Amino acid sequence: MKRIISTENAPGAIGPYSQAIEVNGTLYISGQVPVNPATGKVVEGGITEQTEQVMKNIAAILKEAGYQFSDVVKSTCLLNDMANFKAMNDVYGSYYKENPPARAAFAVRELPLSVMVEIETIAVK
C-alpha cells in the first residue's frame, strides 16, 4: 500500500508530485532543492549553504516518515556545475560518515528555481 509523506518542515512540492512516497518499507523522496521551508525561498550563499539546506530538507522528510540517514540506500545528486562537486560532496559526506549509500552524481544544464543542487533519496527499513 502506498503512503504519501508530507511535512511542513521541508518545502512543499513545486509541481504535481509528493515530497515522498513509502511503499512496502521503501521510502522514495523526491528531489529536494535548497528552499528554506520557513521562508519558501532559496537559501542565500553558495553550493555549501545550498547543499546543507537540501540535506536538512531530506532529514525532515526522513523523520516524518520514521526513517533516518542510516536507512538511506541510494541518492542521486544533480548539480548545475561539476565544479561544485567537491563542496557538495563535503557537506553530503558529513551526513553519511559510516556505510554511505550508493550514489550517482550528474551535472545538468539547469535545475528548478535556478538552484545549484538537487538531491533525491531512497531509504529502506
What does the alpha-carbon distance between residue 45 and residue 52 come to, in Å, rounded to a whole number? Answer: 11
- Considering its fold, how many domains does the chain have in total? 1
What does the alpha-carbon distance between residue 19 and residue 11 come to, in Å, rounded to a whole number? Answer: 8
- Tell me the average pLDDT across 61-86: 98
| Domain limits for position 108 | 2-124
Query: At 13, is the secondary structure helix, strand, or coil?
Result: coil
Task: Find the CATH number of the domain harbouring 11.
Answer: 3.30.1330.40
Q: How many CA within 13 A on the CB side of residue 52?
A: 8
Residue 13 pLDDT > 90: no
Q: What is the pLDDT of residue 122?
A: 98
Q: What is the pLDDT of residue 91?
A: 98
- 14 pLDDT band (50/70/90 cuts)? confident
